[in-house]
Amino acid sequence: MKKVKGFKRKLFKSYMIIGVIPLILMTMVCYYATFEMVSKKINSSIDNNMGIVAELLDSTLTNLESIADYIGEHEEIKDILRKPEYESYDERFEDVQKIYKIINSIEVKKMDIPIYISGMKNPLSRFTTQPNFSEMYFNVNGYAFSIFNSFESDTVYFAHRRYDGRESKDIVMTIIRRMRDHVTDEVLGYVFLDIYDEYFDDVFKKVNLGEESNILILDDKGKIVTDKIYKEDLPVIYGSHEIDFILENKKGSFEFFNKSYMMYFNTLSATGFKVINIVPYSEVYGESTIIIRIFLILLGIMILLSIGSSLVMSGRISKPINELSRLMKRVEDGDLNVEFNYECKDEIMELGKSFNKMVSELDRLIQEVYLKQYLLKEAELNNLKAQIDPHFLYNTLESIKWMAKLGENDGVVKMTIALGKLLRYNISSKENIVTIKDEIEHMKNYLTIQKIRYRDKFSVEFEIDDEIKNTKILKLLIQPLVENAIVHGLEKLKGEGVMIIKGYQEGEFICIEIIDNGQGIKEDGKHRGFGIGLSNVDKRIKLHYGDTYGVTLKRIKDMTHGIIVLPKESI
């Protein structure tokens, strides 16, 4: 009982080690994989939102810039700005109406965009869509114009925040467009388009952002134009290093403020402005807390299940194994009359069946070994009995007699010498193992007799690789296949027959082929002449070398192939 309990305890510990540790590792891998998947999904969503914001801002700013370009390039407005003075109020009123008509033709009134046109030659060349002309754009020699003139480009985005008291709105940026004389390149005046903060708010509303996430718009110099949450009270949330990184790169993200925030940024293709999305780290990875809790709960449940199942399984397995151990001890003591009868439906039952089969097969296995040796000797005895075929010997002597009567002395000598060598080889008292070279020489003597008997009805070719000639094989393996080819194939052939005897190595096998163009496969699907002779050869080979080797007959392209397959190291 102590052994049983000890085995059960070890089995339980093994179950715990094998079950719980992989379970913990699997849980960790699943957690990190899920965490990475959620992170990629969130980052992809933020990246898509950033792309949408960039496209919308690009579209809005491009449309506004095209309005400024249209006004700045309009020749009729330029002609009005070229006038150094007005002769009468009616003349100026007429110009004002012309400009209103031009501006209204592009429907800027519906867009609620304050537009100011300021000429350089005439102080009275001031036109606006608003009731009053802004003081900021009135004095061409003032501070504001000195800033505008510092820009080299004719179209400038000037980020600044000021309050429009009449409209009760914040202006966050002005698009400034110089108007030039194309001939003299003289600056005739300026077009100013004030952009309200609400234009950007409309863009922010069209994208799905977190409650605590903020979006900022920076101009191409890094100055904040506006944002979603803080507006003019925007705190400084990044330093010169971060702003330089944003300006130098088109797109990216990084952590800042001690990893409490994630900053994503993208660049507007048309203006070079930057869109920045600032997201609290907890909002990006907040779902990870839920994931951790779920995985911990699942891990706890699975560990409890693992402990319970380990206790049950260790008990079930230890009991039949102990019984099997007891029976094995009896077999070890020499008692073969044992049987495992424990009822179970798992691998232990299969093990018990194997044990019963092993015990019951011991005697049969011994008998099989003896029987195999007996059959081997019997097959060899049958082979020796068949070495000198009386029918073959009778036909050969009959042929010698008739050649002698006909005076064919050369044929008599040749056949007699071949027959002598054939008989000497067959009745040789040396071991039943020869080389392939010996077998081939024996075949040449045998074929000499057969060719004389059949009046050269067929020709013979030998193709034996030199590397296998000294390989040792069983004696008289080839003759039955050659005889089969002659008697069942070439003898019945009308016309000249061909026999090819090949020997070669193929991988781990030695192959000897007897190929002839005689009669092929019978109509019933069986190979011709696979009778006692070939069957005996096949059995001898299998008994000596194993079931992998043996004799086969095949029909390939009007040629019959008798193939002997032997191991590379035959004997």
The answer to whether the beta carbons of residues 480 and 461 sit under 8 Å apart is no
Whether residue 35 is contained in a domain is answered as no
* Domain end position, chosen among 284, 314, 346: 284
Task: Indicate the pLDDT class of residue 545, thresholds 50, 70 and 90.
Answer: confident
pLDDT at 498: 93
Query: What is the mean predicted confidence (pLDDT) over 20-43?
Result: 76
CATH code of the domain in which 426 resides: 3.30.565.10
| CA max distance for the chain | 158
Query: What is the mean predicted confidence (pLDDT) over 269-291?
Result: 78
Whether residue 32 is contained in a domain is answered as no
**pTM higher than 0.85, yes or no?**
no
Query: What is the mean predicted confidence (pLDDT) over 450-460?
Result: 87
Task: Indicate the pLDDT class of residue 364, thresholds 50, 70 and 90.
Answer: low
Strand 497-506, strand 458-464: pairing: parallel
Residues 399 and 273 in one domain: no
Determine the Cα–Cα distance for residues 271 and 173; give it in Å rounded to an integer: 13
Residues 392 and 280 in one domain: no
pLDDT at 466: 92
pLDDT at 385: 46
Q: For the chain, what is the domain count?
A: 2
pLDDT at 1: 39
Output b/e per residue, 204-226; b: 16+ Cβ within 10 A. beebebbeebbbbbbbeeeebbb
Q: What percent of the chain has pLDDT over 70?
A: 82
Whether residue 339 is contained in a domain is answered as no
Q: Pick 471 or 330 by higher pLDDT.
A: 471
Which tens digits make up the pLDDT trace of 127-177? 888 888 888 888 777 777 777 777 888 898 988 888 887 778 889 999 999
Whether residue 191 is contained in a domain is answered as yes
pLDDT of 4 strictly over 70: no
List the domain range (segments joined by +) for residue 457.
Answer: 388-567
* Domain end position, chosen among 284, 318, 341: 284
Query: What is the mean predicted confidence (pLDDT) over 489-513?
Result: 91
Q: Pick 382 or 49 by higher pLDDT.
A: 49
CATH code of the domain in which 231 resides: 3.30.450.20
* DSSP E strand boundaries for 109-204: 115-119, 126-128, 155-164, 169-180, 187-196
Residues 430 and 558 in one domain: yes
Whether residue 548 is contained in a domain is answered as yes
Which tens digits make up the pLDDT trace of 336-359? 677 777 666 666 777 777 777 787
Residues 71 and 203 in one domain: yes
Burial class from Cβ neighbours inside 10 Å (0-12, 13-18, 19+) for residue 301 reads: exposed
pLDDT at 362: 65
Task: Indicate the pLDDT class of residue 367, thresholds 50, 70 and 90.
Answer: low
Residues 258 and 397 in one domain: no
pLDDT at 453: 84
Residues 405 and 526 in one domain: yes
Quote the DSSP letter at residue 263. E
Determine the Cα–Cα distance for residues 391 and 199; give it in Å rounded to an integer: 116
* Domain end position, chosen among 236, 264, 284: 284
Whether residue 414 is contained in a domain is answered as yes
Q: Which strands sit side by side in the sheet containing 509-516, from one edge to the other?
A: 458-464, 497-506, 509-516, 559-567, 550-556
Whether residue 480 is contained in a domain is answered as yes
Q: Pick 432 or 51 by higher pLDDT.
A: 51
Whether residue 560 is contained in a domain is answered as yes
Which tens digits make up the pLDDT trace of 295-315? 778 777 877 777 777 777 666
Residues 91 and 239 in one domain: yes
